Structure 1
Amino acid sequence: MKPKKVLLLVAAAVLIYTLIVHPTALGDGVQTILGWIGDGLNSIVAFFKSTVD
């Protein structure tokens, strides 16, 4: 097997294991990451709005 495929399978197994064992922790982590992405996008939009005005 290629190393890339092995790493992908291991990552998928860890994700499934975490989802089964700690679903609320995984949900909190995803919510946090999406919050960071949203904050970053809001900052980019605010920057472009300030340059247009």
Structure 2
Amino acid sequence: MNIYLWKEDIEDGESVMTAEYRPVEYGKDYDVVNNPDKFQLYIDGKEIK
């Protein structure tokens, strides 16, 4: 997900950061609702603990 400071920046501006919520084990069929502990948050590519 790309994060913007202003609604107007969405089409023409640059995002201020990128957030990803990825599974810890690639290729597994976990879903985030039932297995939130199997996912990790990343902001701008850095793992957030």
Which category describes the TM-score, using the shorter chain as reference length? Answer: under 0.3
TM norm structure 1: 0.20
Higher relative contact order, structure no. (Cα contacts within 8 Å, ≥ 6 residues apart): 2
Bigger share in strand: 2
Bigger share in helix: 1
TM norm structure 2: 0.20
Select the structure of larger CA radius of gyration.
1
